[in-house]
Chains A and B, each alone.
Chain A
């Protein structure tokens, strides 16, 4: 925990500096009779973020915040496994959307999660994995007219578009 605390503070400080530099692409100073320039708001806020990071670091040195006193690991093996399996699954689902669209990625993710992480029966798994995209299609594509990405599966939907849209 203690190491994670300072690493995060340093990373966030670097991010603040990057934000300040990026904000400075627009005028950050005072424009006479008008007030601050377009980048000023974000520039000074980022500068204050940097100050907070320094403050967090000082607390770390003084051991004034609970994480800076804690010897517990930032993530134990249980948490790390969960994080990698679940977070990785969600990342893979979003990645898959680019290729097979929402309607390919959603069932794939649900089968992965329900069957392999949740150890549910194939019946439960398939009922949810196949039911969810149908509900989603009628809700978003048909009712809301928000056409979700289809990727390479687009041609399969032409007949459905003809019927419902």
Chain B
């Protein structure tokens, strides 16, 4: 415990370095903005802005990106309440009660509750993170290649079992991500493979950012442009000190659901396929079930705003736990952060704690700092963010397209990658229209090289015996849970085909 506090204070000092602090504050503001804009979520922001972090050292870069992630969770509530459109999928549940409150002229009450709940969610989850991460990393140090591989299989299986999308399409999405990751030089024999039409651009492989920016930049913009027809009405927000203090007094009505939602959100967030959106929906449902007045939910109950907001913030922190300790991202956004760490020359996984303690603890420290800054910036500038929301999408969209093209060029500096990014963006958009989930592919292209390496290393170690994955207790457990996760929905689907036809 003492060593944790010592490391944490070191991390906080790191986060207060002038450059790092500046990056955190900018990240919070950018995140709030990205979260508030309908059509843009944390994953889009992190994917599109990752290339510009090459300017600063990795420590500052990860703090910046984590702050964006964090800020976006706060920001999503702003448009959910004032526009009635979720700023990101993670803020869907906030609309249920936030919208009725805004219509009733109590937008300020809803926004204050959202900000405070987000702060509580953030604080609870960061404390849980600080307590859980070191022992988990310690435990994970015992993992060899078979355990690493089994864990990745488990991560993919959660998408199939818990993702809730069409099963063959989910599996297809995972597989195509993994295959795209194998393009380039074979890591063991050193021979080129999958060099389509002998185009030399494929020799250096496909950078995960090309796929991530394509899907979450170009594809997402095309998707949003199609979805947002017609005009939106912005609800007025009247904020004054007196109203703020009264609203602050309302905390007692929702503090219990908020803390419950935070803890729930944190643990749901650690699961790769679950994350902030289901966590916020579950938290909303839980708040309603345990409420003394469930009837008022959906008609403007402040607790209905607080519960999902606490959960989505807690989930964003939760999803960083497996990323930092095991090297398995807990959400699409952390998958991109993980890919960023590889670009910066860090090997994600349990060794990070011993090899780069300043990086890990700096990140943890920055979460505390970002949490405090975001709530302050959020409360102070709510009127400003509401005004920003009236900015027409026809200004934002072309700027994002330009950022995508430049950002797609920056990592490898070839036009080949820019064309590929466009191809992925368009293909991702078209496939998404047919219910193909895109997040598993992004996770797979990040984990692909690591998965193949650990798979082949395991087999080299066992002289080609596949049983190695089943002989070792930890990997066998992971594989068994993964198998159950895959088989359960498949069997359920086979059992009732009649319902599908109805």
Contacts and interface: CB of A to CB of B under 8 A. Distances in A.
B401 A90 contact: yes
A140 B401 contact: no
A80 to B, nearest CB: 10
A97 interface: yes
A56 B168 contact: yes
Contacts, number: 185
A39 B121 CA distance: 46
B54 interface: yes
Contacts of B172: 12, 49, 52-53, 56
A78 B229 CA distance: 9
A153 to B, nearest CB: 15
Contact of A97 (B226, B392, B415, B493): B415
Contacts of A109: 398, 401-402
A67 to B, nearest CB: 5
B193 A42 contact: yes
Residue from A12, A55, A59, A90 with most neighbouring chain B CB atoms (10 Å): A90
Given A62-B501, A67-B434, A114 B196 contact: no
B186 A49 contact: no
Contact of B226 (A35, A38, A79, A124): A79
A8 B169 CA distance: 11
Given A94-B405, A109-B401, A67 B435 contact: yes
A74 to B, nearest CB: 7
B249 interface: no
B460 interface: yes
A36 B54 CA distance: 37
Interface residues of B, number: 61
Given A41-B182, A87-B426, A34 B460 contact: yes
Nearest to A75: B433
A33 B501 CA distance: 50
Contacts of A148: 406, 409
B124 interface: no
B179 A45 contact: yes
Contacts of A30: 464
B138 interface: no
A29 B55 CA distance: 45
Interface stretch (B100-108, B325-333, B338-346, B451-459): B451-459
B179 A42 contact: yes
B384 interface: no
A25 interface: yes
B397 interface: yes
Interface centre among A37, A86, A143 (most CB of B within 10 A): A86
A10 interface: no
A102 B222 contact: no
B194 A35 contact: no
Contacts of A52: 168-169, 171-172, 175
B3 interface: no
A159 interface: no
Contacts of B405: 90, 93-94, 97, 102, 106
A132 interface: yes
A79 B430 CA distance: 11
B225 interface: yes
Given A23-B194, A52-B175, A144-B55, A65 B435 contact: yes
B189 A38 contact: yes
A62 B497 contact: yes
B418 interface: yes
Q: List the 10 closest pairs (A to B, CB-CB), nearest first.
A: A118-B394, A35-B459, A113-B398, A55-B168, A38-B186, A52-B172, A64-B500, A42-B182, A38-B189, A52-B168
5 contacts: A45-B178, A45-B179, A52-B168, A55-B168, A102-B406
Interface of B: 52, 54-55, 166-169, 171-172, 175-176, 178-179, 182, 186, 188-189, 191, 193-194, 196, 218, 221-222, 225-226, 229, 392, 394-395, 397-399, 401-402, 405-406, 409-410, 413, 415, 418-419, 422, 426, 430-431, 433-435, 452, 455-456, 459-460, 463-464, 493, 497, 500-501
